[in-house]
């Protein structure tokens, strides 16, 4: 049977369609990169990705990403760097690569003398490289010190201390704190691991690079902290990312139903403040077991906290604009030389005076008892990171694990 020529116009790559319109990540598809026939197709793919295969600087950067990806895999996913990693070795053929184009051909089965296992290894390295590229090309990282300063300063303004205690305070209200911590910057390796296990797999989707943590004496005080942050406009509810809000500390619905009755009781019985607070705390404790828990699968079910992500509008004043304006002013005063004329003819509209953008930050609040439980045993951050690394490893090595029939 002769195949009609027109059929070539109606052939679909169903795996790719599932990635583009089906909500699946490229990291989880059967083939990370579709077959590339020869150097020309490799170059076209790289151009489509946004990279210039003919630019020596771009090629050197890309090869540096390749070397970092190799080191990263050895350190975090293999036994030689991680006792809980896979008992595998990167094939020697990958160490012989001198150009990333070769890696792409290898990953798509187009390089001569390469077997299926080496093809899958090349694909693994490309997945990690892809993630590293997204980390490196996050434009906002240029402004990170400004981002930290503007976000943290909003909180520091209300943190006070006397001889013995720490408070979140404004006017007559003072909420006693056990501790206040800031997360200044997520380590590069942690960012890569987190991206490797996220469906989105892009640096823009990381919401906890900057964060603050409040540790209060009681769960009720944790709620008071949230109320304080909203009332003083330290956080703006309209800028909260709803899907990132988690509360495993207080059954809010249950407390909301009973709170008004406690208010009425305090009025009827003229309760002292400490008795009113104790009544609230009893209600919170009694409803603790009924809290719903729909969290990150890597987080221990014992982890108790209030956690949410807010966005802050960052305002960055470009220091170059001021310096360039001074140079232009001097050129205008001179006005005669060719250099002065060239400077005066430059288009200032291409130089931004201010850069403004929203940046996410995470807020965590826990009472002291919950914080101690969170930092011990299964709920500890170390256990969380182990689970995250293992999940990323299984995801990146998925095709090779199936091919070799490995038990993981």
In angstroms, the CA 296 to CA 96 distance is: 40
Are 365 and 305 in contact by the 8 Å Cβ rule? The answer is yes
Are 104 and 45 in contact by the 8 Å Cβ rule? The answer is yes
- Closest to 178 (Cα-Cα) out of 222, 144, 135: 222
In the block, residue with structure tokens 């900057």: 210
DSSP states of 297-329: TTS-TT---EEEEEEEEEEEE-HHHHHHHHHHH
In angstroms, the CA 174 to CA 196 distance is: 42
Q: SS3 for 356? A: strand
- Render pLDDT for 207-261 as a digit per residue (tens, 0 to 9): 667 899 999 999 999 999 999 999 999 999 999 998 889 999 999 888 888 888 8
Are 219 and 250 in contact by the 8 Å Cβ rule? The answer is yes
Q: SS3 for 240? A: strand
Whether the predicted pLDDT of 117 surpasses 70:
yes
What is the reported pLDDT for 203? 52
- Render pLDDT for 2-60 as a digit per residue (tens, 0 to 9): 778 888 788 887 777 787 787 777 787 777 887 777 888 888 988 998 889 889 998 99
pLDDT, average across residues 348-371: 86
Q: Which residue has the higher pLDDT, 379 or 174?
A: 174
Q: Which residue has the higher pLDDT, 45 or 336?
A: 45
Are 132 and 71 in contact by the 8 Å Cβ rule? The answer is no
Label residue 43 exposed, middle or buried (CB < 10 Å: 0-12, 13-18, 19+).
middle
């Amino acid at each position: 049977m002769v195949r009609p020529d027109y059929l070539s116009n109606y052939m679909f790559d169903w795996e790719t369609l599932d990635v583009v319109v089906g909500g699946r990540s490229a990291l989880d598809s059967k083939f990370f990169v579709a077959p590339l026939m020869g150097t020309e197709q490799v170059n076209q793919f790289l151009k489509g990705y946004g990279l210039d295969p003919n630019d020596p600087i771009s090629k050197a950067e890309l090869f540096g990403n390749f070397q970092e990806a190799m080191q990263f895999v050895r350190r975090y996913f293999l036994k030689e760097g991680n006792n809980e990693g896979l008992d595998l070795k990167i094939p020697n053929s990958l160490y012989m690569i001198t150009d990333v184009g070769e890696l792409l051909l290898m990953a798509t089965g187009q390089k001569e003398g390469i077997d299926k296992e080496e093809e899958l290894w090349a694909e693994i390295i490309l997945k990690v490289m892809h993630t590293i590229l997204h980390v490196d090309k996050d434009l906002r990282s240029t402004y990170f010190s400004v981002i930290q300063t503007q976000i943290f300063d909003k909180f520091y303004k209300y943190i006070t201390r006397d001889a013995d205690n720490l408070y979140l305070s404004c006017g007559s209200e003072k909420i006693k704190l056990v501790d206040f911590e800031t997360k200044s910057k997520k380590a590069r390796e942690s960012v890569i691991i987190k991206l490797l296990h996220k469906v989105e797999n892009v640096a823009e989707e990381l919401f906890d690079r900057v964060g603050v943590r409040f540790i209060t004496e009681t769960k009720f005080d944790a709620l008071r902290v949230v109320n304080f942050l909203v009332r003083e406009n330290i956080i703006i509810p309209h800028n909260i990312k709803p899907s990132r809000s988690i509360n495993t500390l207080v059954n809010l619905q249950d407390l909301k139903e009973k709170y008004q009755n406690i208010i009425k009781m305090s009025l009827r019985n003229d309760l002292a403040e400490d008795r009113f607070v104790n009544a609230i705390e009893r209600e919170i404790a009694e409803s603790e077991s009924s809290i719903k828990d729909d969290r990150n699968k890597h987080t221990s079910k014992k982890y108790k906290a209030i956690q949410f992500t807010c966005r802050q509008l960052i305002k960055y004043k470009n220091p170059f604009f001021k310096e360039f304006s001074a140079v232009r002013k001097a050129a205008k005063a001179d006005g005669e030389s060719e250099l002065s004329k060239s400077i005066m003819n430059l288009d200032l509209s291409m130089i931004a005076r201010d850069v403004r953008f929203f940046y996410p930050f995470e807020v965590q609040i826990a009472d002291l008892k919950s914080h101690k439980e969170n930092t011990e045993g299964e709920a500890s951050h170390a256990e969380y990171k182990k689970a995250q690394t293992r999940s990323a490893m299984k995801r990146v090595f998925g095709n090779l694990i199936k091919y070799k029939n490995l038990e993981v």
